[in-house]
């Protein structure tokens, strides 16, 4: 009984041992192969760098970062050829990140603009019928609004005693002229009296036929018929039968509706795409499904400050009377931008950071390489932007995946969308203003050097000096735009000049102080000497922070003696007001 059991147990032990030996052998091979792969990668590297301080380079793979004392990593092949504001990746990495590019093209962007407005009467084809002499409305021949009238159609009969007097004067002058013949002074006076009497009646609105009828009447006439001066529709009737009227009082308002105006409101951003003579398709709920067209014949030169819109006027034929004044109208127009097609890029290619616009451009290289670039944008047309500066026709811009590229730039402590400074022209200011900034810069540099030396007391003195130096800056010569920029920056500096309770708080406040100082440099410059913009990627739990120095030897105000040399020089600023 025991012998078979022993045989089976021994056989099982052999099988298990064989299996384990096979597994161990296989694992050893895999590990050996992996070691060889690692050795190939490491052996291929000729230079090593710090992941937190890319400026550190050494051929010694066993060296430590002299700034943060971290282990070094191999420099990727070809990394030296990549600009500081660019990133390179393989084709497969580009595909995994779903990076897509599109060319910068030169053509007119198709911008469909939707406008709304109303139908209005043509101001040039309106007439107000007023009383030219005092009297009483005897009969209203047109007694309701909306009536259609023709030129010469009687509107009302007005009784006026003054008309009777004027008729009598005219008839007596005519009789006197008949009795007195020749060229005597009396005869000339009689003829002039006739002319004067007829002019009086003409100024009252009587036609020549009416005046002739009064002159030839055999009986006195104390009523006069008021007629319509134009074809049109009665918009308002201001009097009733029996009402007394005075000189200048409005009796009727008449408008010709065979031509009407359509007034549309265009927003500020739409104005560059609109021009005189441009065709607009119109629709109204009164005529569902019907589209009628006209062209712009007037663009109001004054912007409505309440609605931020400009009125666009079109003249529309309305002989059928289908368009009713006061009704709402919708307009559709395809906007254009002058005679020469501009450079345009898709809207998705643009990363907006306040007033700056950043795009990523694919530059020629062995591997797909993308560099960040600040551009100046023009008008936006639907899903396209007009590019005023910064790009050339045919360049490839990233239209999908731009944020992923920017994130990688931030990880590598390279200039990214969030840290890039717009290289636009500085504000044009007087040398006196730039010179008056010197004490302010000096106070800031004192604060920076105090923190680098871990001297909290000196920092407090410099912090108080900043508030004082702000008061002696001479901003009287600044333009409105420059003064507005200065006030925003100086407000930030003033807020950061409040006394800090300890050195940790001081270093937090110093970041805002540095942002303001860098903003002053970028906006206005400085008078003399050379300034340096520094960057530490490890400040504030690896968020990174910038500062200015007046010396080229980096001393870190965010860490002090703990990591005094942590950081790198990002920019060098030459003076624009005096000498170096």
pLDDT for 212 equals 84
Instruction: Report pLDDT digits (tens) over 207-224.
Output: 788 888 878 877 777 788
Residue 277 reports pLDDT greater than 70 = yes
284-293, long-range: CB < 8 A, 24+ apart: 284/119, 284/323, 284/327, 284/328, 284/329, 284/330, 285/327, 285/328, 286/322, 286/323, 286/324, 286/327, 287/322, 287/323, 292/316
Q: Where does the pLDDT of residue 564 fall: very low under 50, low under 70, confident under 90, or very high at 90 and above?
A: very high
Instruction: Report pLDDT digits (tens) over 505-550.
Output: 999 999 999 999 999 998 899 988 999 999 998 899 888 899 999 9
pLDDT for 26 equals 35
Q: Where along the chain do its domains lie?
A: 8-42, 45-75, 86-108+341-411, 111-160+222-336, 431-573
Collect all residues with Cβ–Cβ distance below 8 Å to 499 and sequence separation of at least 6: 460, 463, 464
Mean pLDDT of 360-374: 87
pTM passes above 0.75: no
Structure tokens at 185: 């002074």
pLDDT for 193 equals 83
pLDDT-above-90 percentage for the chain: 38
Residue 338 reports pLDDT greater than 70 = no
89-93, 371-375, 445-449, 462-466: which range is least confident on average?
Answer: 89-93
Residue 578 reports pLDDT greater than 50 = no
Collect all residues with Cβ–Cβ distance below 8 Å to 117 and sequence separation of at least 6: 262, 263, 264, 265, 311, 312, 328, 329, 331
Say if CB 372 and CB 358 are below 8 A apart: yes
Instruction: Report pLDDT digits (tens) over 45-104.
Output: 567 777 666 667 788 888 887 777 778 888 665 555 667 778 888 888 888 888 899 999
Rounded Cα distance, 133 and 245, in Å: 8
pLDDT for 35 equals 37
pLDDT for 396 equals 94
Collect all residues with Cβ–Cβ distance below 8 Å to 62 and sequence separation of at least 6: none
Q: Which CATH architecture has domain 86-108+341-411?
A: Beta Barrel (2.40)
| Main-chain dihedrals φ then ψ at residue 416, nearest 5 degrees | -120, -175
pLDDT for 203 equals 79
Q: Where does the pLDDT of residue 355 fall: very low under 50, low under 70, confident under 90, or very high at 90 and above?
A: low
Say if CB 314 and CB 259 are below 8 A apart: no
Rounded Cα distance, 174 and 164, in Å: 16
One-character DSSP codes across 342-407 = PEEEEGGG-EEETTEEEEEEEE-SSS-EEEEEEEEEEEEETTEEEEEES--TT-EEEEE-HHHHHH
Instruction: Report pLDDT digits (tens) over 129-175.
Output: 998 888 899 999 999 999 999 998 999 988 888 877 887 788 778 87
Q: What is the largest CA-CA distance in the chain?
A: 175
pLDDT for 218 equals 74
Cα separations in angstroms, 449 against 167, 266, 446, 456, 467: 103, 55, 5, 10, 18
pLDDT for 411 equals 65
pLDDT for 189 equals 82
pLDDT for 225 equals 84
Rounded Cα distance, 134 and 119, in Å: 36
pLDDT for 202 equals 80
pLDDT for 156 equals 92
Homologous superfamily (CATH) of 111-160+222-336 is Efflux pump adaptor protein, beta barrel domain (2.40.30.170)
pLDDT for 2 equals 46
Instruction: Name the range with the highest mean pLDDT among 164-178, 303-317, 372-386.
Output: 303-317
pLDDT-above-70 percentage for the chain: 85
How many other C-beta atoms can be found within 10 angstroms of the C-beta atom of residue 453? 15
Instruction: Report pLDDT digits (tens) over 468-517.
Output: 999 889 888 888 888 888 988 888 888 888 889 999 999 999 999 999 99
pLDDT for 335 equals 79
Supply the Cα-derived Rg of the chain in whole angstroms: 44
Q: What is the mean pLDDT of the chain?
A: 82
- Start-to-end Cα distance in the chain: 105
């Amino acid at each position: 009984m025991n012998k078979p059991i022993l045989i089976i147990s021994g056989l099982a032990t052999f099988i298990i041992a064989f299996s384990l030996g096979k597994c161990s052998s296989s694992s050893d091979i895999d590990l050996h192969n992996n070691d060889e792969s690692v050795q190939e990668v490491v052996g291929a590297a000729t230079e090593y760098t710090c992941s937190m301080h890319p400026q550190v380079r050494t051929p010694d793979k066993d060296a430590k970062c002299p700034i943060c004392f971290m282990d070094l990593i191999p420099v990727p092949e070809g990394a030296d050829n990549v600009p500081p504001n660019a990133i390179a990746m393989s084709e497969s990495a580009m595909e995994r990140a779903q990076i897509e590019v599109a060319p910068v093209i030169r053509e007119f962007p198709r911008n469909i603009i939707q406008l709304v407005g109303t139908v209005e009467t043509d101001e040039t084809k309106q007439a107000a019928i007023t009383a030219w002499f005092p009297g009483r409305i005897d009969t209203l021949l047109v007694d309701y609004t909306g009536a259609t009238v023709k030129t010469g159609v009687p509107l009302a009969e007005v009784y006026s005693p003054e008309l009777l007097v004027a008729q009598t004067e005219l008839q007596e002058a005519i009789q006197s002229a008949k009795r007195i013949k020749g060229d005597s002074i009396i005869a000339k006076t009689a003829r002039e009296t006739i002319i004067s009497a007829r002019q009086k009646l003409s100024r009252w609105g009587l036609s020549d036929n009416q005046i002739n009828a009064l002159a030839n009447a055999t009986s006195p006439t104390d009523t006069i018929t008021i007629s319509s001066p134009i074809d049109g529709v009665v918009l308002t009737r201001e009097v009733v039968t029996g009402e007394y009227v005075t000189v200048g009082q409005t009796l009727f308002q008449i408008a010709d509706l065979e031509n009407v105006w359509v007034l549309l409101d265009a927003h500020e951003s739409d104005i560059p795409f609109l021009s005189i003579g441009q065709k607009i398709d119109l629709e109204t709920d009164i005529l569902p499904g019907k589209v009628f067209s006209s062209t712009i014949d007037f663009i109001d030169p004054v912007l409505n400050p309440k609605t931020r819109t400009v009125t666009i006027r079109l003249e529309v034929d309305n002989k059928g009377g289908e368009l009713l004044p006061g009704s709402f109208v919708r307009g559709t127009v395809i906007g254009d931008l002058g005679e020469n097609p501009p450079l345009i890029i898709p809207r998705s290619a643009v990363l907006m950071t306040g007033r700056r616009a950043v795009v990523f451009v694919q530059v020629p290289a062995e591997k797909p390489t993308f560099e960040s670039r600040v551009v100046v944008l023009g008008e936006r047309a639907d899903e396209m932007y007009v590019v005023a500066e910064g790009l050339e026709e045919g360049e490839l811009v990233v239209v999908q995946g731009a944020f992923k590229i920017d994130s990688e730039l931030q990880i590598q402590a390279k200039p990214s969308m969030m840290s890039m400074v717009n290289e636009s022209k500085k504000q044009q200011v007087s040398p006196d203003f730039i010179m008056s900034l010197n004490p302010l810069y000096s106070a800031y540099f004192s604060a920076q050097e105090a923190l680098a030396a871990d001297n909290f007391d000196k920092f407090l003195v410099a912090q108080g000096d900043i508030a004082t130096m702000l008061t002696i800056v001479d901003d009287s010569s600044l333009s409105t735009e420059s003064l507005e920029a200065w006030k925003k920056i100086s407000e930030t500096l003033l807020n950061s000049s409040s006394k800090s309770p300890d050195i940790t708080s001081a270093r937090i406040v110093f970041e805002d102080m540095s942002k303001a100082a860098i903003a002053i440099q970028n906006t206005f410059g400085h008078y003399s000497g050379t300034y340096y913009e520094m960057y530490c990627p490890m400040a504030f739990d690896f968020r990174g922070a910038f500062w200015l120095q007046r010396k080229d030897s980096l001393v870190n105000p965010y860490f002090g003696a703990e990591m005094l040399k942590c950081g790198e020089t990002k920019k060098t600023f030459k003076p624009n007001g005096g000498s170096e």
